[in-house]
Amino acid sequence: MDRAHSAALQLHQLPPTSSADPLSELSFSYKENLIGALLAIFGHLVVSIALNLQKYCHIRLAGSKDPRAYFKTKTWWLGLFLMLLGELGVFASYAFAPLSLIVPLGAVSVIASAIIGIIFIKEKWKPKDFLRRYVLSFVGCGLAIVGTYLLVTFAPNSHEKMTGENITRHLVSWPFLLYMLVEIILFCLLLYFYKEKNANNIIVILLLVALLGSMTAVTVKAVAGMLVLSTQGSLQLDYPIFYVMFVCMVATAVYQAAFLSQAAQMYDSSLIASVGYILSTTIAITAGAVFYLDFIGEDALHICMFALGCLIAFLGVFLITRNRKKATPFEPYISMDAMPVDA
């Protein structure tokens, strides 16, 4: 009788024990999301400050006879140091949060650059241009902030250890192989029209950048995740897939920079910023959803609210950039953080 009573007592105590683990895992995943989002926001803010510091140096030394006079200023080198610090923060953020959350947070750089340009660099404006340029820019900043809040709040909660086995398994999965086939075909077609048919439309060039950027984002998350695991004691650097991902990350980033340079020679940088951000973010989120299965298990409401956050952020970035005067080569261009290169 006592034995039966103790068995019944053990069965009665099982449910709380089994239900505690999912709750702790859920809270931990939200904590990781928050850490990743804060690192990305911090990185983008610091990069924006760095680029505007360098821009300020170039504006101040515009009349100098020495074309490299800015190398001799402490402000320019401070900007370079802050840029490296910011890029490191963005890179690290990929190791903690889903790719679909980190990529759209590139809007933070656009917001920060708009505010810094108005307040600190004191970009000139005429009274008749105030409504057209600055009021719309502030409205765009507000929309981008609302969109960013929705992105962080309703971001996917998928967290998987970036081990060599898991990355290899995702790399050879049928959904990703099919996605890669479609992306390669599309990239080759766009490249053919761009090179052979002289199709220099900005959409064509920035689609090439976005397709490369989606692979940069996938590989950055893999490399960052494996490095973090290695520092935690689970060595991942002996897996060949780490070096495959690292080479792909560097190669796609370099070719992105080449296409962006060509686009900058033909189109205004504010147009590149808005169109590039929208295209790159959309395709990078799609790549993350296919490769890392970011949205598996998410309910329809969270997915719809996340998509709404993206649309609001897109509209905000468009309003911020559309009325800004042509930027200097040192004004931030936000394509990804997909790369994590913001300029």
Question: What was the pLDDT predicted at 131?
Answer: 60
Positions of the chain with pLDDT under 70: 1-29, 63, 66-67, 70, 117-133, 323-343
**239: three-class secondary structure by DSSP:** coil
> In the prediction, which pLDDT does 123 show?
55
Q: Could you tell me the pTM of the whole model? A: 0.79
Between helix 202-231 and helix 174-195 the angle, nearest 10°, is 140
Per DSSP, the residues of 150-197 read HHHHT---------HHHHHHHHT-HHHHHHHHHHHHHHHHHHHHHHTS
Domain ranges for the chain, please list them. 160-293
pLDDT at 281: 92
Contacts of 87 (CB under 8 A, 6+ apart): 43, 47, 340, 341, 342
pLDDT tens track for 121-147: 555 555 555 566 677 778 888 999 999
The type of residue at 248 is C
- Measure the CA angle with vertex 312, ends 309 and 315; round to 5°: 150
Instruction: Please state whether 232 falls in left (phi above 0), alpha (psi between -120 and 50) or beta.
Output: alpha
| Residues whose CB falls within 8 Å of the CB of residue 223, separated by 6 or more in sequence, listed in order | 242, 245, 246, 249
